[in-house]
Amino acid sequence: MNTKTKSILSFGLIYGLILIALALIPYVFNLPQSKIFGYINIAVVVASLFIIQRLYKKQVYNNRIKYGQLLGGSVLIVLVAVALTTAYTYTFYTLIAPEQIDELKNLAYMELMERGISDSYLDMQISIMDKYFTAKSLTYFYFLL
């Protein structure tokens, strides 16, 4: 395996572990979902990708890299991270904490109740949530993000 491939795999694994750690923090510390934590999460994701890109550029190309090379390497790093986090997401919702799916449904239900929607629309939304809030669909959704 050449240096480029090793770097892509190692940086992808590091980035994937960062994403998994960010996903685990609210669960481990029993933190409620908040917009502030979401903004912090986005900032950490973007900053860590930026740092990983700079390290990749330095390690593989000795700081002499074309835009296309950096973009291609970054896409591959993110694909490695997505593969890791997809496996984690499926494992989390099926083995570690399947009750989290019900908690997500309850959060969505409470948000719908706060909007003051009609009972028939609420029943329709609940049936849709029951159909799509499964470990497989959440894993697929996470993969698309």
For residue 100, how many C-alpha atoms fall within 13 Å in the half-sphere facing its CB? 21
Q: What is the 3-state secondary structure (H, E, C) of the chain?
A: CCHHHHHHHHHHHHHHHHHHHHHHHHHHCCCCCCHHHHHHHHHHHHHHHHHHHHHHHHHHHCCCCCHHHHHHHHHHHHHHHHHHHHHHHHHHHHHHCCHHHHHHHHHHHHHHHHHCCCHHHHHHHHHHHHHHCCHHHHHHHHHHC
> What are the structure tokens assigned to 45, written together?
């994701």
Ordered per-residue pLDDT tens for the chain, 145 residues: 788 999 999 999 999 999 999 988 888 888 777 778 889 989 999 999 999 999 999 999 998 999 999 999 999 999 999 999 989 988 998 898 888 888 878 887 888 788 877 778 878 888 887 777 777 777 777 666 6
Contact 71, 88 (CB under 8 A): no
pTM attached to this predicted model: 0.81
- CA of 134: how far to CAs of 56, 68, 101, 130, in Å? 36, 38, 7, 8
